[in-house]
Amino acid sequence: MARKSVTKEDVARASQTLRDRGDRVTLMAVCQELGCGSFTTLKPLIADWLAEHPEP
């Protein structure tokens, strides 16, 4: 069975959920929130999200 690909939208949703809870948006935290995804796939997507959504 093929694995589900992690999308930019998946990472955005997980990152916003973490931030809304007051948690730091980190590679490990997003990976745990999603329950899937390789660090190689997630790292650039998280970096893009953080660049577009700086800490207040």
Quick: pLDDT tens for 1-56: 556 789 999 999 999 999 999 999 999 999 999 998 899 999 999 999 999 999 87
* pLDDT for the residue numbered 56: 75
* pLDDT for the residue numbered 4: 75
Say which DSSP state 31 is in: H
* pLDDT for the residue numbered 36: 86
* pLDDT for the residue numbered 14: 98
Return the domain boundaries, the chain: 8-52
- Transcribe 17-45 into DSSP letters: HHHHTT----HHHHHHHHT---HHHHHHH
pTM: 0.88
